[in-house]
Amino acid sequence: MKIITYNIRAFGSGLDTKYGPTKRLILKEKPNFLALQETKLHPMNLSWIQTFWGSVDCEFIQQPMVGLSGGQLLIWDTTLFDAYDVIIFDRVIGVRGTWKSSGEKLNVVNVYGPHDDTKKQLLWNSLSALIENDPQEAWVLCGDFNEVRDETERLNCVFDENRARRFNSFILNNNLVDIHMGGRKFTRVCDNGIKFSKIDRFLVSQNFISLWGNLSVVAMERLTSDHCPVLLKDDDKDFGPKPFKIFDFWMDDPEFKDVVSQSWSEECEHML
């Protein structure tokens, strides 16, 4: 499983613009899904998408730009994923389908969060209602959420504690997991490298983790946008069954070692 999310900040048309570097990223990483935000594209046809994707084995959904801004694009590999429904509402596009090798249902949602606080809360409510309709299915929410979870996810930027609290409540109430991100600490840089923030991410359901447990998220090198492409992937190497239940991405958390050590010490004390 490979999914890339990327706020591309508007396409160009030639090899030296954002189209070319992004196409080369697709050819290198070969993602199963690509979620783009702020594409600033008019409605595109399948032929253009296939050329951009580098294969005819794909389908897509799109939110065209409104005026001179916005726009979202979600492309997926039809050799691995069989879509049966799409999700489209304000600042959200998604696809519902079946992962062909396992027959498991999978929902992938591309999110482009607004700046306005009221609209942002409406977005959290709409996404919550979407998940609550099918809580037992595997969900992946990815994109530019335009929000941080705590003050460490901003540098030289204004941190709004109330907005962060509402975002965290949305994540907690829907039993979503924000997988620890490697590669770099922030996903967006602006104002000539003065301001930094982590606003691009993956939020996944517990059911998704159960199906693809060896997960990692990496903020990749910036291309031609002020945002980094962010990659979610699973390591499908099979070393046999684990002797106890653990998800590999837990070990990316800097507090993991201390929690295990403390729990082990407490258990040993009880045995004495």
Report all structural domains of the chain as residue ranges with CATH numbers, in order of start. Answer: 2-245 (3.60.10.10)
Residue pair 107/138 in contact (Cβ under 8 Å)? The answer is yes
Locate tokens 């498991």: which residue? 104
Distances (CA, A) of 201 to 101, 119, 175, 255: 26, 19, 16, 20
Return the pLDDT at 227: 95
Strand (E) or helix (H) holding 29: helix 19-29
Residue 254's pLDDT band, with cuts at 50, 70 and 90, is low
- Return the higher-pLDDT residue of 203 and 64: 203
Q: Report how far residue 98's alpha carbon sits from residue 82's, in angstroms, rounded to the nearest whole number.
A: 5
Q: Report how far residue 223's alpha carbon sits from residue 221's, in angstroms, rounded to the nearest whole number.
A: 6
Q: Which of 32-41, 156-165, 229-238 comes out lowest in average pLDDT? A: 229-238
Work out whether the CA dihedral 41, 221, 79, 131 comes out positive or negative.
negative
Return the pLDDT at 11: 81
* pTM of the complete model: 0.85
Q: Tens digits of per-residue pLDDT, 68-109?
A: 778 999 999 999 999 999 999 999 999 999 999 999 999 999
